[in-house]
Amino acid sequence: MKLTIRLLLLFTLFSTGFTFAKEHGNATFYNHNMHGRKTSDGGKYNKDSLTCAHRTYPLGTILKVRNPKNNKEVIVKVTDRGPHRRNLIIDLSYAAAKEIDIIRDGIAPVEISKVEETPSEPKDSLALK
């Protein structure tokens, strides 16, 4: 009986996957002094790009960040590590923070979810003609 319950639990976990996992916490954004500085992925931070810093997601991961106060969303790419304060879960670029209206607040609650990549369509040789 115990084995059946364990197998059922494992099957449920792996069949639903972890794609619906969401992270809740506070976000802030890079100040203007960071503009042009090097990020963890080797590139330079641009305040007008839609990027972010996250502690655990791999560099290059695409995330959807939602402001639950106004339901605005932005898609960002993880290019840096951080934030380095305990009560924050993500640092957004200035442009990303502006998209979801957290500039005035400075620190705001957000919901983060990973965007699942869709496989690219094969190139059709007829479309190239």
DSSP H or E stretch at residue 53: strand 51-53
CA distances in angstroms from 19 to 12, 14, 42, 62, 112, listed in the order given: 13, 10, 28, 13, 12
Does the domain spanning 18-114 belong to CATH 2.40.40.10?
Answer: yes
Render pLDDT for 27-81 as a digit per residue (tens, 0 to 9): 999 988 999 999 999 999 999 999 999 999 999 999 999 999 999 999 999 999 9
Check pLDDT > 50 for residue 108. yes
CA distances in angstroms from 54 to 14, 26, 40, 100, listed in the order given: 25, 12, 11, 17
Mean pLDDT of the 1-22 span: 54
CA distances in angstroms from 58 to 15, 94, 125, 126, listed in the order given: 23, 21, 34, 37
- Please tell me the pTM assigned to this model: 0.75
Residue pair 80/53 in contact by the 8 Å Cβ criterion: yes
Query: Beta strand 72-80 with 51-53: parallel, antiparallel or unpaired?
Result: parallel
